[in-house]
Structure 1
Amino acid sequence: MHAALMWTINDFPAYAMLSGWSTKGKLACPYCHMHTDHLWLKYGRKYCYMGHRRFLSRDHKWRRNKSCFNNETENRDAPVPLSGNDVVQQHASFEQETFGKTRKRKRDDDNKWHNWRNKSIFFDLPYWKNLLIRHNLDVMHIEKNICDSFLGTLLDMDGKSKDTLKARLDLQHLKIRKDLHPNVSNGKYTLNLACYNLTKDEKKMLCKFLHGVRMPDGYASNLKRCVDLEGCKVSGLKTHDCHVLFQKLLPIWVRNILPKKFVVPFLELSLFFAAIYSKELNPEELAKLSRTIPETLCRLEMILPPQFFDIMMHLPIHLAEEARLGGPVAYRCMYPVERYLRTLKGYVRNKAHPEGSIAEGYIAEECLTFCSHFFGNIDTKLNQPERHEAAARDEGPAGLSVFGTIDHSKKGFTFETLSKAEMKQIRHYIITNCEESNSWTDEHLDELTRAGAHSVQKRHRDEFVDWFERRIQALHKEGKVNDLLYALSRGPDPRARVYNRTFINGFFFRNDSVERDLNTQNSGVVVRGDARSGNLDWFGVIKKIICVDFPSEKEVVLFQCDWFDVPSANKNQSTGYKKDDYGYIDVDTTRLRYRDDPYILGIQAEQVFYVRDVKKINWVSIVRLKPRDLYAMPSVGNDDDGTGADADLLDIVVGDTNVPDIDGDVESWSRSGMEGASGDASDIPKIPEVDPGYDELQSDSDSCDDDETYINDGHVPHLVLDESDDDEFFV
C-alpha cells in the first residue's frame, strides 16, 4: 500500500515553515510572491498590503480613479501564482540554509530568492511540483482575524482598533482623505468620526445587542460571557464565535446604524466567507466570487485606513480560486486540527515531559478503542446514543408522505386528550398537506364552487374532514384505496403524546415555555411558502410539540405555533413585517396571525432564531439556519432524457441576502455632525528618521518564539511550562 500527500493543512505561520516562503515582511503573500503590493506606514511602523485594483478587469473605472485610492492610477496586471516548476527553478538559485542561529546580514533586493528562507523538503516527492495546491491558506484564522479587526475598530478597543491617531497621521502623510486628517488647534487635536466609527451610545447598543443574543443549542458558545457592557469591550471570542459573529450577527446590526458606503462592502465580505464555507460549491458561483472579491476589497480600500490592511485582509482575494481547485473549505480548514490538538493537550499530566504524556495518552486511547469493539453489550464511546434522538420517517413506497413509524423507545412525553375542535383542526391540516390526498382536496373545492356556495374556503375548512372520511370509506369498501388512506380518513387517537423537545429534519426543536430561563433558543420555526401563497415564508414560535397516533403503528408529528404577521403576496412590508434592501427580515413579535390555524407538520419545519432589536424591543431580526449533517447530494442514476440526476428530497438552501449596488465614488469619509476623539497635540509622534522594514534578514531559523505574526485563535492555548501557574495550563 502506498500513501500520497495531497496538501498540507496548517495555520499561516506554519505555512512559512512548510513551504519555505516567509510569511512576514513586505513579500508576505505566498500567492503574489515577489509581486506582493506593500507599503511601509511611517507612523504605524508596519507594512500594509493593498493594491487590489490590480485584480480588476483592465477596463474597470477604478483603475483610473486617483482621488478614492492612493492618488495614482493602476496599470499593473494581477500577479500569477508560482507553479511547482517555477518554485524548483527559484530553489536552484540559492543554497539550502543550515539549521541553527546565523548572524544577521543585509538583504539584497535584487537577489533571485526574494522571500525564500529554505527549500521545502516536500519537493523531494516526485509529484509535488505538479500539484495545483501544495499548502492551503488558513481560512479559519483569516476569518477570525478579519472579524477581530472589524470588531476592534467598531468598538475602538485599545490595542485592537485599526483606526488610531497613528492611522490618521498616515493618511495625512499619504495625502489622502483630507476630512479624516487630525485637526490641530490651541494645543489640541481632534479626529473626525469616520463612516465606520461609532458614537459612545452606538457602542453601548452594539454590546447590548451581542449580550442579548440567544442562539440554538450547540450553534455557538454563549457570547454573553465575552461582552463587557460597562467598558464596551468584547474579548475572549473563540474562532467559531467569530465565524458566527462575522457571518450572521454583525451584518444584522451594522445595516441599520452605519452609512451604506460601509455597510455594502462589509456585507459583501461577510457573504463571501459564507459562500466559500458552504457545503456545496458551484463552479459558476466560485468564478463569480473570484470576480467580485477584488471589488469588495477595493471598496474597503476607499473607506478603511491603510493600517487595517494587514496580510490577513489581503489573503481573501486568493480564497475563491483556491476553493475552485481544492473543493469545500470545511475539509481543508484548521477546525478539526485545532480541536484534535486540544484533545492531545488534555493528555498531558506531567508538564515537565508533555511529549511523553501525549504519547502515553494516545496509545491508551487507541487500546481502549480497539478493545471496545469486542464489548457490544457495554456502553462505550462507539455505541453511545446521539445527544438528540432523531424522529424516524417512513419513506417506503407503501407509506404516506405525512406518516412516520412510532418509536416506542422515545421518552419524555405526557398524554393529553385533544378536544373535538383541536382534532378537527389537526385532521384538516394533515389531510390537506398529504400529497396522496391532493386529488380529493381539489375535488371537494370543485364541488363547492360548482354549487355556487358562498365562502368556499370557510365551508371547505368546516366540511372537508367529514366529506373526506365518507368518500374514503366508500372507496375502501370497493377496494380502490389502501389501508393507510383509510386510516388517515378515520383520524388519529384523541390521546396525543406531547413533548417538550424533538429532533427532526436535522434540527433540534424545543417549545417556547421550556427555554424561558435558558441562554439558548430552539423554538424558532419557519415554513416555506409555495406559488399559491406568493412564495412567502411564515415565521413563528413553537408552543407545543404533538404526536398523534394512527393505526398500523403510524404517527404524525405536529407543531402548534404562534405565527407572526406576514404581508400579502408580492409585498415586502406590512404592519408587523419588514424586509429591507439587503434582504434581512424583521418581524413584530406582538402582532400574531392565523390563530385559527396554528398547526404545521414536523416534516415541514425548518429552524430560525430571532435576534432582538435594541431600539425596538418588540421587533426581532430573523436568522435562518441549515440542518446539520445533511447535504444536497444528487441521486445516483441516469435519466432517459440525459438531463442528469434529480436533487435530493430535502432542499437545504437558505434564503439569500441581497447586496445593493452603490454608484459613484466616495466623496466624504466622515460622519457629519458627530464629534470624534480628541487629545493633546503633544501626543502626536514625529516620523521616525529610519524605516526599519525588512532590509535586514531575521534569524534564518524562523523560530516560533520570535514570530510576531503568530495567530492565537483562543481555542488551543500556548504550551507554557510555568510551574507557578499550573491551573492556567488546562483551559
Structure 2
Amino acid sequence: MSMKPEYCMLSLLIPGPQSPGKDIDMYLQPLIEYLKLLWEIGVETYDASKNETFQMRAALLWTINNFPAYTMLSGWSTKGKLTCPCCNKNTSSLQLKHSWKTVYMDHRVFLPMNRPWRTNKRSFNGKQELRPPPPAIEGPKIFEMLQNAKNVFGKKQSKTKDHLNARYDLKNLGIWKNLQPKEVNNGKRTKLAKACFSMTATEKSIFCGVLKTTKLPDGSASNISCCFITLEEIDLLELKIVETLCQLERIFPPSFFDIMVHLPIHLANEVRLGGPVQFRWMYPPERYMCTLKSYVRNRSWPEGSIAEAYLAEECLTFCSRYLHGGVQTRLNKRPRNDDDPNEDEVVPSKLFSNKGRSLGVRNREPIKLDDISIAQARVYVLHNCEEVANCVRSNLTIINYREHEEEVNNQRGTKWRKAKVHNKTFAQWFETRVRDPNVPFWLKELSRGPSSIARRFSGYVINGYRFHTVECEARRKTQNSGVTLTTLTSSFASAKDQSLIQDNVAYYGRLFEIVKLDYFGHFKVVLFRCEWYDAERDKYGLTFIQFHKKCFQDEPFILASQAHQCFYVQDPYEHNKHYVIETVPRDLFKTSDKSESEARQTHYSEQHEHITSPAIPADDGELILERTDLRPTVIETFSSSHFYLNKEFIDLKAISSKNLLRQFEAKRQKIVTECKKYEMEAAAANDKEKSE
C-alpha cells in the first residue's frame, strides 16, 4: 500500500533538461531541514480516533534510486576500480587493455572453499581461486569511515561486447585460445571464430519473434507475482546467484562483466537487511514517473504541467476519501482478479464453492445442452462432490456400491473398459439408490441431474486467475485459455494394461466453454469445458503438448474451482509443439508457517558460511566455446599508416564545429578560385587558337 501512487508525495521537482548531478545537494537542503525537524522536534498532529493531538516524529529509512544516481546521493563513485559499494576496497576489478573498460569478475571467491570450480583453471581466468569472499562492512565500521567525510555542495568545474578488442583482451590474458584472434594473409586480415553464444540474423529473428508473438496471461507481463521468501530460500538464492555468475564467466568474454552484472551477488544480503524488496525497488517509482510525464501538455513548460496536474490529482484523491463506501474510487476499487461473486450470482450452497464471478457481455446468454454434454457434466459433478463420496462410503450404500462394482467386473473386457463402463453407469445407479427416505433432500435433487438450459460465459474469475475462452481470446493480446489440473488419478497406461496405477497426474488443456448448470433452482455449479492434450517431456525436462494429440474426449468438464492457469509458447521450429508454462495467481502471497520467534535469525553474513546450498555441477572440464557450424568473421587489419590516418581523423573530430566549418569554407573558396583560374586559362587558350 505504501508504494501506491496515492500515497506518494511529489515534494521536489527539479527543472531543466539535464540531470543535476552533484548539484542535487542544493535542492535537497530544504528537505533535509524538514527531516531534521521531524526527527528532533516533531510536528503537532491530530489523532481522529482519540480526538487529541500528539507530536509526530519521522525518520528516513532508505532511499530508492537507480545505480547511476547512487553517486549523487551517497558520494560513492559508481565508476572505476572500486565501483561496488558492498565489496568496498576489496572489489575485484580488471582494466582491459584493448577494450578500455573496467570489468568485475572473479565471482568464484563467493563460492564455498570446497567447490571444484575454485581450482578449475581452463574454464576461467587460467588461475586457481583460493581467496575468501570480501568481508561484510557493518554499520559501526561505515559510521567510523564517515566521521571525517566532508560534504562539498555543488559541482567542481547498438553495441556488442564481443568485438575485436574483446578478443585481443582474451589473448592478452592468455585464456580461451579457440576464441583468440588469428592473423591470416600475412597479417593483412584477422579471423575471429564464432563464440558459442553468437547468433545468426535468422536465429535472432526467430528468438525475437517468439518474444513478440507469445501471448501471456492477464497481468503476467506487467506485474510479476509477489511472494514472501523464507530465510532458508534466501541462502539458497544467494549461492544460486554465485553459481550463475560463475557459469557466465565460463561462457562470455571479460568485457561482458560490467558493474551491473556484478551487483546481483549482493541482492540476498540486501533482502536480509531491508526486508521485502517490494518496498525498496525501482519499479513503482519508475511507473509513477511515467504517470508524471504523461501530465505534460505544454512542452515549453513541462515542469508547470506536471505540477498543475499533480495538484489536481491530489485534490481529487483527498475528496474521494470522504465519499461513502458505495462509490467506487481509486482507494476502494475492486481488485482486478477478485473472485467474490457478483450480487446477482450469489446462490448459497453447501455442496459447491460460492467463489467466482462471470465476465463479458454474454454472461446472461442461455443455451440448451445436448444429452451427451448433460450426461458428461452430471457424472463429473457426482464424482467430484465430497458429500456424494461421503454418502457412498456410508453403511447405507457401501454394500450396494460393491454390488455394482462386482456387476460391472463380471462383464467381459479389459479392466480399462470395465472402469469406463463403471464411470458411465454410476449416475443411473446413484439415482436409484438415493430414493431411500433417509437420504437428504438435496442429495436426491443432485442425483436428478441438471436442467438442459444453462448459462454460458465468455470469461470467469476464479482462484485468483482470469480465464477466457479460446473464441474470446482470439480478439485479445493476452492468453487466458490455458487450463491445468493436478489430481490423484487411478489410470491405466493403455487399453491393454491390466494394472491400475494411482498417482498425481497433471492435465493440460484449453478452455472452450464456460457453463453454469442449474439444478432446478436448488443450487448451481460452474463447469469448464476443455480440450485435453497428451503431455510429453523433451530432453531438457520441459513439458510440451501438441494440439492435435487430444485425450480424454469423453471427460471434457472440470469444476471451475479446480482450475489453475497456464499458458503455452509455440516452438519456433516445430509449430505443432507448444511448451507449457505454469503461472501463479496475481495476488497470491506465500507466507511461512513458522512464527517470528521460531524463525532462524540470519544477519548480515558472508556468503560462504551457509550450510545448505544448491547442487553445483562438478564439471571440471573445458566448455565448447566455439561454434563450428558458422563461418568465422574476417576483419581487415590496418597497418601503422592507417593507424596514424585514423588518429588524425579522430583529432579532426575533436575540433569544434565552428573551426570545422571555417576549414570547409576555406577549402571551398580555394577550389572555386582554382576552377575560375582554370576556366580563364582554357578560354585564353581557345582564343589564341582561333586567332592563329
Q: Same fold (TM over 0.5)?
A: yes
Corresponding position: 1:306 with 2:254: yes
Question: 1:439, CA displacement in angstroms?
Answer: 3.3
Report the CA distance shift for 1:5/1:554 in structure 2 as closer, same or farther (over 3 A): farther
Q: Name 2:496's counterpart in structure 1.
A: none
Match of 2:85 in 1: 30
In structure 2, the partner of 1:97 is 151
After superposition, the Cα gap between the structure-2 partners of 1:613 and 1:404, relative to the gap in structure 1 and judged at 3 Å, is same
Contact 1:405 1:555 in 2 (8 A): no
Query: Is the CA contact 1:65–1:72 (under 8 Å) kept in the aligned structure 2?
Result: yes
Asked if structure 2 preserves the Cα contact closer than 8 Å seen for 1:501 and 1:510, the reply is: yes
**Paired residue secondary structure (2:471):** coil
Instruction: Provide closer, same or farther for how the CA distance between residues 314 and 384 of structure 1 changes in structure 2, counting only shifts above 3 A.
Output: closer
CA contact (8 A) 1:179 1:668 kept: no
**C-alpha contact (below 8 Å) 1:445/1:460 kept by paired residues:** no
Judged with a 3 Å threshold, the aligned counterparts in structure 2 of structure 1 residues 3 and 673 are, in CA distance, closer, same or farther, namely: same
Tell me, what secondary structure is at the counterpart of 1:529? strand
| Correspondence list, 1:259-298, <5 A | 279-298=227-246
Instruction: Compute the displacement of 1:16 (Å).
Output: 2.6
Deviation at 1:37, TM superposition (A): 0.5
What is the rounded CA distance, in whole Å, between the counterparts of 1:310 and 1:210 in structure 2?
A: 26
Is 1:669 equivalent to 2:670 in the alignment? no
User: Quick one: distance in 2 between partners of 1:218 and 1:168?
Assistant: 43
Query: Within 2, Cα distance between the matches of 1:430 and 1:602?
Result: 11
- 1:433-448 equivalent positions in 2, closer than 5 A: 433-440=384-391, 443=398, 446-448=402-404
Equivalent residue, structure 2, for 1:176: 175
Residue 429 of structure 1 corresponds to which residue in structure 2? 380
What is the CA-CA distance between 1:290 and the residue it aligns to?
1.9
Alignment partner of 1:315 out of 256, 263, 277:
263
1:39 aligns with 94
CA RMSD in angstroms, aligned pairs only: 3.4
Q: How far did 1:634 drift?
A: 6.7
Equivalent residue for 1:10, pick from 56, 65, 70: 65
Q: Distance in 2 between matches of 1:69 and 1:298?
A: 8
One-letter amino acid of the structure 1 residue matched with residue 211 of structure 2: L
Q: Find the aligned partners of 1:11 and 1:661 in 2 and give their Cα distance.
A: 34
List runs of 5+ in structure 1 lacking aligned partners. Answer: 104-157, 222-239, 244-276, 567-576, 644-657, 688-731
Deviates more, 1:541-550 or 1:284-293: 284-293
Q: 2:569 aligns with which of 589, 611, 616?
A: 611
Counterpart residue identity of residue 164, structure 1: H
Alpha-carbon deviations, 1:359-415, whole Å to 9, x = none?
A: 332222122122234444666545666656735399x9x943534379799852321
Alignment of 1:362-381 (within 5 A): 362-376=310-324, 380-381=329-330
For the pair 1:467 / 2:467, whether they are aligned, the reply is no
Offset at residue 503 of structure 1 (A): 1.3
Flag the 1:421–1:635 CA change in 2: closer, same or farther, 3 A.
Answer: farther
Q: Secondary structure at the match of 1:547?
A: strand
Equivalent residues in 2 for 1:144-183 (5 A)? 158-159=158-159, 161-183=160-182
Q: 1:408 to 1:285 in 2, by over 3 A?
A: closer
Distance 1:50 1:281 in 2: 28
Q: Counterparts of 1:48-127 in structure 2 under 5 Å?
A: 48-94=103-149, 96-102=150-156
Match of 1:402 in 2: 352
User: What's the counterpart of residue 685 of structure 2?
Assistant: none
Amino acid at match of 2:583: L
In the TM superposition, what whole-angstrom CA distance separates every residue of 1:650-682 from its partner, at most 9, and x where no partner exists? xxxxxxxx9994623224321224213222122
TM-fit CA distance, 1:196:
1.3
After TM superposition, give the deviation of residue 612 of structure 1 in Å.
0.7
- Greater shift in the superposed pair: 613-622 or 383-392: 383-392
Q: Which amino acid aligns with 1:400?
A: K
Q: Which moved more, 1:345-354 or 1:607-616?
A: 345-354
Partner of 2:200: 199
Write the letter of the residue equivalent to 1:469: E
After TM superposition, give the deviation of residue 207 of structure 1 in Å: 2.8
Identify the residue that residue 629 of structure 1 maps to in structure 2: 587
1:59-88, CA deviations, whole angstroms, 9 ceiling, x for partnerless residues? 322222222222222232111232221112
Distance 1:199 1:406 in 2: 48
Aligned-partner residue type, residue 295 of structure 1: E
- Whose radius of gyration is greater, 1 or 2? 2
Cα distance, 1:487 vs structure 2? 3.4
Question: Deviation digits for residues 12-41 of structure 1, max 9, x if unmatched?
Answer: 122233333222211111110111000011
Kept after mapping to 2: 8 A contact 1:212/1:612: no
2:537 is aligned to 578
Distance 1:513 1:350, change over 3 A: closer
Structure 1 residue 6 displacement after superposition: 2.8
SS in 1 for 2:248: helix
Contact residue 48 and residue 310 of structure 1 kept, 8 A: yes
Please tell me the residue identity of whatever aligns with 2:528: F
Q: Does 1:598 align with 2:574?
A: no
| Structure 1 counterpart of 2:341, one-letter code | A
Task: Flag the 1:68–1:389 CA change in 2: closer, same or farther, 3 A.
Answer: closer
CA distance in 2, matches of 1:177, 1:296: 20
SS at match of 1:219: coil
Distance of aligned partners of 1:100 and 1:48 in 2 relative to their CA distance in 1, 3 Å threshold? same
2:410 to 453, 456, 473: 453
AA aligned to 1:100 is: G
**Which of 510, 518, 525 is the matching residue for 2:483?**
525
- 2:104–2:262 CA contact under 8 A, matched in 1: yes
Contact 2:358 2:461 in 1 (8 A): no
Q: Report the CA distance shift for 1:418/1:391 in structure 2 as closer, same or farther (over 3 A).
A: farther
- Structure 1 residues 382 and 550, CA, compared in 2 at 3 Å: closer, same or farther? farther
Task: Tell whether the 8 Å contact from 1:33 to 1:81 is kept in structure 2 after alignment.
Answer: no
Amino acid at match of 1:318: H
What is the CA–CA distance in structure 1 between the aligned matches of 2:128 and 2:639, rounded to whole Å?
35
Measure, in 1, the Cα distance between the counterparts of 2:521 and 2:247: 62
Between the aligned partners of 1:411 and 1:101, the Cα distance in structure 2 is 61
Greater mean alpha carbon deviation, residues 441-450 or residues 359-368: 441-450
Any unmatched runs of 5+ in structure 2? 1-55, 412-416, 491-501, 600-613, 645-692
Q: Structure 1 stretch 179-188 or stretch 459-468: which is displaced more?
A: 459-468
Query: SS in structure 2 opposite 1:591?
Result: strand
How far has the Cα of 1:334 moved from its partner?
1.1
Identity %: 38
Letter of the structure 2 residue corresponding to residue 432 of structure 1: H
Query: What is the alpha-carbon distance in structure 1 between the residues aligned to residue 62 and residue 582 of structure 2?
Result: 34
User: Given that residues 393 and 404 in structure 1 are in contact (C-alpha distance below 8 angstroms), is that contact kept between their aligned partners in structure 2?
Assistant: no
User: Which residue does the alignment assign to 2:665?
Assistant: none
Counterparts of 1:27 and 1:331, CA distance in 2: 28
SS at match of 2:313: helix
Corresponding residue for residue 142 of structure 1: none
1:477-530 deviation digits (Å, cap 9, x = unpaired): 32x53x543432232222110111111111111111222344322111111132
- Secondary structure of the residue aligned to 1:674 is coil
1:416 to 2:367 alignment: yes
Partner Cα distance (2:558, 2:237) in 1: 38
Deviation of 1:177 after TM superposition, in Å, equals 0.3
Give the structure-1-normalised TM-score: 0.68
The whole-number CA distance in structure 2 between the counterparts of 1:445 and 1:321 is: 60
3-state SS of 2:118 partner: helix
Gap change, CA 1:448 and 1:470, over 3 Å in 2: closer
How far apart in 2 are the matches of 1:82 and 1:387?
44
| SS of residue in 2 equivalent to 1:176 | coil
Cα separation, 1, equivalents of 2:351 and 2:122: 62
Check whether the contact 1:400–1:434 (CA below 8 A) recurs between aligned residues: no
SS in 1 for 2:292: helix
Whether 1:506 aligns to 2:464 is yes
* Structure 1 residues 205 and 362, CA gap change in structure 2 (3 angstroms): closer
